[in-house]
Structure formats: C-alpha cells, structure tokens
C-alpha cells in the first residue's frame, strides 16, 4: 500500500447514444484510479432503468453478458472507494430506487457532512435504509419530496444536504449532473456527436472520443433530456472550495480538472518547489508515478537533469500475496526498484507529490542510499499535510499524519534524508487559477469551509492539531472545549 490519501470515487453519465452502457464501461475504465473497490452501471431504454454492480475493478465487475443486459441510450456509472459506509456491494453505486416520482439511479462522488443527522431524522419517521452509504439519504429525500415532478423533487432533496457532492443521476428519460455550491469535486461536460456526457475527469471523454465542452459549475444542475441540455442554479451561492488535492495527486495528469490541465499545474508546482527549495545536486529523480510531473518542473527550473532512477513495477495488483514474515524484506521493492547506474555516487533530489505517514518515503530514501547515492534530498510538491479531510477523501487519523506530529527536522531524521522541504501554501495556490479564493486547502491549514456536525471522532482528530502535545490531547481535553477552537472559515 502506497502512503497516500485515498481517492474518492469517479462518476460518468451519457445521454443519447445507442451504445450508452458500453461507453459508460469505457468511461469507468478511464476513471478506475478514482476507486477500485466496486463498479456499477445503470442504463435506461426509455421505459425502465436496469442496473448491475459488483465488487472489484471495472473489468472484474462487468463482462459482455452483464453489459448486454443494460440496453438503452442513457446510462450512468460509478467506480467507488468507500469514504463513507462500508465496503460492501450493497453500498456500491448506482443506488437505484422506485418512488412516487418514478425510478431514480444515483452515483455520488464526495461526502455529505450532514448525512448522519438527516438519516436519524428519516429513520425516526419510518424510513428503512438498505445501505450505510451517505448517498442513500438523498434517495430517501427524493422519494419523500412533496414537490411535483422529478426535477423539483431532485432540487428539493439536494437542497437539504451539505458537503461535497458531484452527482450523476438518471431517470427513465433523463440524465442529471449536479455539483455542490462549493464545487469541491470536479464534474466535466462533453459531447460525443449528438450525445451529452458528464464525468469526473476529461480523461474519460478522451477514451470514448468525446469533446470537452466545459465544467458543470459549482451549484449548477444540468438536466439532459430529448429537449436538450437545461441548466439551472437553484442553490444559494457559496464560497468556492474546489479540492486542490485533485491537482496535487488524485486526478490523472492527462485530465483537465476545474478547467485546468493537471499536468501543467503539477509541473508548475515542481518549478515553484525548485525556486523555493533549491539544493546542490547531480540528478532529479521522481518517485513514480506520483512525482513525475513535479520532478519535470523541478528539473526544468533548477537546470539539473531528471533521470528515472526508480522504476515502478506496474503489474503489482491486489492479488499480490504477502510472503511469510521471514522473507518479507522485499518491502517497497515489490513496487519500486532503484537504478544503480543512475544513483551511484550521486547527490539525488527525490521528488514526490505528498507525504502522509512517511513510512513509504523512508523506505524509498533508504533504498536509494542502498543503491549508492551520496546524498538524498527529499522535495515534496505540496505543503505539509496537517489535517484530515471531511469532504470525500479518505485520510488517516491526524495522529498518523507525520507533519501533524513532527517538526521538519524530526521528519528529516525519520526519513533518513540529508534535507527535506515542502512547497509553501502560496506556492501551491499560485499554481492554480483563482488560488485561495477558489480552492479548499483544509488538509494543509485546518481551516474548514463547510461546518460538519459535532461528531466525536472528527473533533478528536482535529484536537490533535490544536493541542501542542498531541499524545495527551485525546485523553485530556474535553471535546466541548476543543470544539470551540475549530476554525470553520
Ligand atoms: S481537505 Fe484537502 S483533500 Fe479534502 S477537499 Fe479540501 S483540499 Fe481536498
């Protein structure tokens, strides 16, 4: 397991193509990096919505028989990594219901911060939940809405949830794309001939030969039907808080996310890092694949050559069987192997996009030293990761984030590096259009744009940051006192 934040989910939808479910399958393939636990597709032929979902990668969850049972010119799909709810097929998306407003299929990327409160209230009035997914709350709110018609019932349901959401929904005869008013998660709009496509990242458009048109805007709801595309903005406007980690790590570098090339942003982060934290060295080595774009930028700005001094084994899948303890010294070598001819006798700058716990980085530094490097300098193309995410990204507890509990010098010693430097927050936000005014940076600052309920576990996580002696915080500080210190911007 690499030491990274875990991706959230990927969503895809298409309206008006006879091969809708096959194209959705391909779109999910392109979005596989956003979730590997389960995959699902719902399709409609205009009369009814059918769906199939299963655990595993897209190619494990579907075969040609499963796709053949999903006819129609409308389809939506989802790849999931569970950020809320357990990893079970019942929690896989799409969630499909039959209600007084007709059938609705829902795919969600994000995390609803008030799902627990809403769920409790719904259960008290008789709702029976089938899953532990936060998304099911929206389905119940839709089914119970007293509004007339599908569109107004969808708006009514979504108006009651808070947090991060990019939804792709489908009824018998329309596909609906929605982005929360803060715009945490991406959602792109494209065209394939006369068909419309909505998806998390533009790499999915590229795979099916579709053209990127624009992003669904924060707070926008697009309804695609035989009448064409209708756009409405039914929610109160809010401060934009697009997830900057999409650019740092989550999204594919060949995607455009929030209207910008991920590759360009990442390369710019590397350039900025070289300007802020230069060091005398012979070679720049990316930690593949995550550090490659930033290393290219770092090499460009520092005028030091970049070489692939670490080679990644791309064929390590989930089926890798851990050997017995006695021969487990493979460590990170199963995934990465050093190239001695590049590293031996050299002063090496290792570039990566983030450090979460530091466990993998330490192994890599030692491996590079073992291959003969004279000096190893670690450079990270984002600021220290200090706080957990409550908006749809799986982060470890605060106590496990190395930067939350250690000084820079302690991190250097732990990693066994000659020096360590992170990019500054300004360096990060200057690399994206709109900077701080349009992006969420909570995992670097602890300033949260959307309040979340007084959930004990969440507050305990934050407490660790707010108390200068982290080890004591969980036992000594009363939650109510700590809660007063939480910053919600
Ligand atoms: S806290 Fe970090 S990972 Fe979560 S939405 Fe904000 S920037 Fe993204």
Query: What is the rounded average pLDDT of the residues 265-286?
Result: 98
Q: Is the pLDDT of residue 98 over 70?
A: yes
As a whole number, mean pLDDT of residues 111-123 equals 91
69-96 confidence digits (pLDDT tens): 999 999 999 999 865 566 678 889 999 9
36 beta partners? none
Catalogue the E-assigned strands of 195-306. Answer: 195-199, 211-215, 221-225, 228-232, 242-243, 256-257, 260-261, 283-286
Q: How far is the CA of 214 from the centre of ligand 1 (A)?
A: 23
pLDDT-based confidence at residue 8 (cuts at 50, 70, 90):
confident
Give the residue, out of 245, 257, 425, 458, with the most ligand 1 atoms within 8 A of its beta carbon, to mutate for a pocket test.
245
Q: Please tell me whether the overall predicted TM-score, pTM, comes out greater than 0.75 for this model.
A: yes
* Residue nearest atom 8 of ligand 1, based on CA coordinates: 243
> What pLDDT score was predicted for residue 454?
57
Dist. CA 420 → ligand 1 center (Å): 23
What integer pLDDT is reported at residue 376 of this predicted model?
A: 98
Decide: 203 in ligand 1 pocket, CB within 6 A: no
Over residues 384-392, mean pLDDT: 89
Residue 261 has pLDDT above 50, yes or no: yes
In the predicted model, is pLDDT for residue 453 greater than 70? no
Mean pLDDT across 379-399: 89
Q: Residue 486: is its pLDDT beyond 70?
A: no
Q: Is 405 a residue whose pLDDT tops 50?
A: yes
For the ranges 112-116, 263-267, 464-468, the maximum mean pLDDT occurs at 263-267
Answer yes or no: is pLDDT of 478 > 70.
no
For strand 221-225 and strand 175-179, is the pairing parallel, antiparallel, or unpaired?
antiparallel
Q: Does the CB atom of residue 356 touch ligand 1 within 6 A?
A: no
Q: Nearest 5°: CA angle at 359, between 439 and 389?
A: 25
Nearest CA to ligand 1 atom 4: 389
Whether residue 475 has pLDDT greater than 90:
no
CB atoms within 10 A of CB 57: 19
pLDDT for 461 equals 54
Q: Using alpha carbons, list the distances in angstroms from residue 245 to 70, 130, 217, 399, 444.
A: 35, 32, 18, 20, 10
Is a pLDDT exceeding 60 seen at residue 319?
no
Closest ligand 1 atom to Cα of 449: 6
The rounded mean pLDDT for the chain is 89
Whole-number Å distance, alpha carbon 465 to ligand 1 midpoint, is: 16
Q: How far apart are CA 380 and CA 399, in angstroms?
A: 20
Q: What is the pLDDT of residues 149-159, one digit of tens each?
A: 999 999 999 99
Among all residues, which ones are annotated catalytic? Answer: 9
**Ligand 1 neighbour 439 (Cβ under 6 A):** no
Write down the pLDDT at residue 188: 98
Mean pLDDT of 198-221: 98
Q: Which pLDDT score, from 0 to 100, does residue 446 have?
A: 87
Q: Reply yes or no on whether the pLDDT at 476 is more than 70.
A: no
């Amino acid at each position: 397991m690499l030491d990274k934040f875990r991706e959230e989910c990927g969503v895809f939808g298409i309206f008006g193509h006879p091969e809708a479910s096959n194209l959705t399958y391909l779109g999910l393939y392109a979005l596989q990096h956003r979730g590997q636990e389960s995959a699902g597709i719902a399709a409609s032929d205009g009369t009814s919505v059918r769906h199939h979902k299963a655990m595993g990668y897209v190619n494990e969850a579907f075969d040609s028989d499963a796709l053949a049972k999903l006819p129609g010119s409308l389809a939506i799909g989802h790849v999931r990594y569970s950020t809320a709810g357990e990893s079970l097929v019942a929690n896989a998306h799409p969630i499909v219901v039959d209600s007084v407003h007709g059938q609705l299929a829902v795919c969600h990327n994000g995390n609803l911060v008030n799902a627990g409160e809403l769920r409790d209230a719904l259960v008290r009035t008789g709702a029976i939940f089938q899953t532990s997914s936060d998304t099911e709350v929206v389905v119940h709110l839709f089914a119970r809405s007293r509004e007339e018609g599908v569109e107004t019932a969808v708006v009514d349901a979504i108006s009651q949830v808070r947090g991060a959401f990019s939804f792709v929904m489908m009824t018998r005869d329309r596909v609906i794309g929605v982005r929360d008013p803060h715009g945490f998660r991406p959602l792109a709009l494209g065209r394939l001939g006369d068909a419309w496509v909505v998806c998390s990242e533009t790499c999915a458009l590229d795979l099916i030969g579709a053209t990127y048109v624009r992003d669904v805007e924060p707070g926008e709801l697009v309804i695609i039907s035989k009448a064409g595309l209708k756009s409405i903005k039914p929610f109160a406007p809010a401060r934009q808080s697009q997830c900057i980690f999409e650019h740092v790590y989550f999204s594919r570098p060949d995607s455009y996310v929030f209207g910008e090339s991920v590759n360009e942003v990442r390369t710019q982060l590397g350039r900025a890092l070289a300007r802020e934290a230069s060091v005398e060295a012979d070679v720049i080595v990316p930690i593949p694949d995550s550090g490659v774009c930033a290393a290219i930028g770092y090499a460009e700005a520092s005028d030091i050559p970049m070489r692939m001094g670490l080679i990644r084994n791309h064929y390590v899948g989930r089926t890798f069987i851990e050997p017995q303890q006695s021969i487990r010294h493979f460590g990170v070598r199963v995934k990465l192997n050093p190239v001695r001819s590049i590293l031996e006798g050299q002063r090496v700058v290792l570039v990566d996009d983030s450090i979460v716990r530091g466990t993998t980085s330490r192994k890599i530094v030692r491996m590079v030293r073992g291959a003969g490097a004279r000096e190893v300098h670690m450079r990270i193309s984002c600021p220290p990761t200090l706080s957990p995410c409550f908006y749809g990204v799986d982060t470890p507890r605060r106590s496990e984030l190395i930067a939350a509990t250690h000084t820079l010098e302690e991190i250097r010693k732990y990693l066994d590096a000659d020096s360590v430097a992170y990019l500054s927050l300004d360096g990060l936000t200057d690399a994206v259009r709109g900077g701080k005014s349009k992006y969420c940076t909570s995992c670097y600052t602890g300033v949260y744009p959307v309040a979340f309920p007084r959930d004990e576990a969440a507050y305990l996580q934050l407490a660790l940051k707010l108390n200068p002696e982290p080890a004591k915080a969980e036992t000594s500080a009363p939650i109510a006192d700590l809660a007063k210190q939480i910053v919600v911007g």
